[in-house]
A = this chain, B = another copy of it.
Amino acid sequence: MATSADSLGEHGIIDLLRRHLVLMPNMVVPFGDDVSAVPIGNGEVAVLKTDMLVAKTDVPAKMSLCNAARKAIVMNVSDFASKGVQPIAVLVALGLPKDLATQRAVAEIADGLNAAAREYGAYVIGGDTGETGDLTISIFMYGQAKQNALMLRNGAKSGDILAVTGLFGKSAAGLRLLLDENCVVSSEMRLALESAVLNPHARLVEGLALSKSGCVSASIDSSDGLAWSLYELMHMSGVGFTVETLPVAVEAVAFAEQNGLNVESLALYGGEEYELVLTVNPQKWETAKAAVEAVGGNLIAIGKVTMEKQVILLANGKKRCIEPCGYEHFKAPL
């Protein structure tokens, strides 16, 4: 009996695909981590990733084609960043609706792809295109790394410090702003919040510095939301988390207050925020923090890794469970 789309969902589809595949023997990165990898000799691996941008679900109406193309690259760079890998080359599979197969639209997409790839040190070196009903930009990213320098999802240990590379909530607030014109907001804050959605940034320099420091026990990006990232780390590392300080951006706090929204939800379940979520042995904390600060970034301790496989928020002296939610294709938005 067929299961309906709503009950299957993006993660259900990927699980189902995986169960039907003969797995490559001795995979150096487990299926389901942020990237895939293939050994190429001398302890090095080829690092591979695909993430697809679908205009219908991933591109707000006010986002330009150039920014949509840029975002498609950033989504993939963020996964590379979370593993500490420099992207080298990009291929693009571009699904174009016929009304976008124009000089102007294609040039704008090309400019966005090129600018974003170059911003992170990579080059677009090939691709394919076909006529589709809606705009889709599937990016294939290639890089090369020392196998033992990869920061996988599965190494978090009880007692490790849980940390992030930035504050959350701006993207979720910005998306609400873009979708609902009744939101209350100053023009300055509108710019900051909308920019978080329209012009996201991947934490590549931070990820590369963290990998080089050798201090990280587990790492993931937060593109499906902070809560989702914590549950993914929980499943892959077999540990739990206590979040002691929710890393919320001041803009998100103000926006939530002005618009009667729950700021915790904005920070935990928003998604499309390309911060890194990672764990560090306490003895290596100062080294890790210094490494990130040396490249102009921040490393913010937000809690601890625990034995029990649950994700707890400690707020106002009370413990409560963080729900395992996040953005998922094929599922109704939150």
Contacts and interface: CB of A to CB of B under 8 A. Distances in A.
A22 to B, nearest CB: 6
Contacts of A104: 2
Given A101-B8, A101-B330, A125-B38, A91 B136 contact: no
B103 A8 contact: yes
A48 B144 CA distance: 13
- Describe A's contact surface by its main secondary structure: mixed
Interface stretch (A52-60, A200-208, A209-217, A234-242): A52-60
A48 B89 CA distance: 9
Contact of A127 (B14, B46, B129): B14
A232 to B, nearest CB: 15
A261 interface: no
B49 A107 contact: no
Interface in A6-45: 8, 10, 13-14, 16-17, 19-24, 27, 31, 35-36, 38, 40, 44
A5 interface: yes
Contacts of A131: 54, 56-57, 329-330
B133 A128 contact: no
Number of copies of this chain in the oligomer? 2
Contacts of A46: 40, 46, 142, 144
Interface stretch (A108-116, A263-271, A287-295, A315-323): A108-116
A132 interface: yes
Contacts of A4: 102
Interface in A83-142: 88-89, 91-96, 98-99, 101-107, 109-111, 113-114, 118, 123-134, 136, 138, 140, 142
A126 B49 contact: yes
29 contacts: A2-B105, A5-B99, A8-B103, A10-B130, A13-B96, A13-B129, A16-B110, A17-B92, A20-B110, A21-B114, A22-B114, A22-B123, A24-B89, A31-B126, A40-B40, A46-B142, A48-B91, A50-B138, A50-B140, A54-B95, A54-B132, A57-B130, A57-B131, A93-B93, A95-B132, A132-B136, A133-B133, A136-B136, A138-B138
Interface of A: 1-5, 8, 10, 13-14, 16-17, 19-24, 27, 31, 35-36, 38, 40, 44, 46, 48-54, 56-58, 88-89, 91-96, 98-99, 101-107, 109-111, 113-114, 118, 123-134, 136, 138, 140, 142, 144, 329-330
Given A17-B94, A52-B129, A54-B130, 14 more contacts: A3-B103, A17-B124, A19-B110, A21-B114, A40-B40, A49-B126, A50-B93, A51-B128, A52-B138, A58-B130, A91-B140, A96-B330, A128-B138, A142-B142
